[in-house]
Amino acid sequence: MLPFWTLAILLVTGAFANKESGKYQVILYYRVRQFMVNALGEGGNRIAPGCKSPCDMEAFLNEVSNVNTCDGKKPATGPDGKRILINDPDFKKIDFSKLTDDYLKDLNAAGKELDKSGFKGLLLNGKLFNGWSGGNSLPASAIDDTRDALHCQGKDPSGGHFDEIKDSLQAAADARRINYADYLTEAFKKELLRLNKDFEVVLTDAISHPPVDIEETIKKNAGEKGMAKNEEKIRQFVNNYNNSKKGLNHLAAIQEMQGLRNKLELPFGQCKQ
């Protein structure tokens, strides 16, 4: 049995924080839905229960996505005074004939197709988790229990989309790491240029390590105005960023996703006789 891990935090850390990982998260939920329907039938499924089978990716996205039809605070109006409805994301830009079950296994390609719509990962929790007693989140135990159910029915537990669940969860966690590295780099550049607009930032290409090379940056700009007196502050930048509210939220989301991904390797529970 798994502890009560949930994916709630994935959904609450803001639209932009989810931009890169949102597409993998929605594929993840889609896979969990398929997995549950396969193992427990339509009645046992708890993901987007309002989308009746066959709930293909198009139907699923339309069911669970938050589509903005208004650009900015006020609805835009055309020259004839009529309201212009925009669709953000605009699912008409997606070629859904491509997004078959097989194609969705290539997360990179599927993600690019979803990107065409401007999808940012905004989901309607009420539609996604409608009637879920635990609230607006996906307990990992649901995935685990479903896998046990398949196992106990003598079905292949890693067949029915379990591998795809693990892959999309890993992709979402990795995308968040990239996101974090990007945010940190932007914040570092902004801070340095604030000190002296001629400072040059030295980047590394690592993702799991800070993407900025602090010591090289300090060396490169040695002697420039403002460097000597800010050196220590610059040295502390990554540490401070990691410990800021935004940093901590983001790192917690990565950790939760990775933890959930790792927990999906546990042995099966006991089958009822």
Ligand X SMILES: *[C@@H]1O[C@H](CO)[C@@H](O)[C@H](O)[C@H]1NC(C)=O
Residues that bind ligand X (CB under 6 A): 208-210, 238-239, 242, 251
Report the residue closest to ligand X, judged by CB.
242
CB 155 → ligand X: shortest distance, Å? 39
User: Cα 157 to the chain's mean position, in Å?
Assistant: 25
Q: How far is the CB of 260 from ligand X (least distance, A)?
A: 17
Q: Whose Cβ is closer to ligand X: residue 55's or residue 175's?
A: 175
Identity of the residue, 152 or 251, whose beta carbon is nearer to ligand X in the bound complex: 251
168 vs 22: CA distance, rounded Å: 11
CB 57 within 8 A of CB 46: no
In terms of CB distance, is 62 or 239 closer to ligand X?
A: 239
Q: How far is the CB of 192 from ligand X (least distance, A)?
A: 17
Q: Which is nearer to ligand X, 141 or 242 (CB)?
A: 242
DSSP class per residue in 30-86:
HHHHHHHHHHH-GGG--SSTTSPSS--HHHHHHHHB--B-SSSSS--B-TTSPBPP-
DSSP for 107-123, written as a single string: HHHHHHHHHTTT----B
* CB 16, min distance to ligand X, A: 19
Whichever of 19 and 177 has its CB closer to ligand X, that residue is 177
**Least separation, in Å, of the C-beta of 18 and ligand X?**
18
User: Max alpha carbon distance in the chain (Å)?
Assistant: 76
The per-residue b/e assignment along 111-123, b for 16 or more CB within 10 angstroms, e otherwise, is: bebbbebebbbbb
Residue (22 or 247) nearer to ligand X, CB: 247
Residue 207 CB, nearest distance to ligand X (Å)? 9
The number of CA neighbours under 13 Å toward the Cβ of 209 is: 7
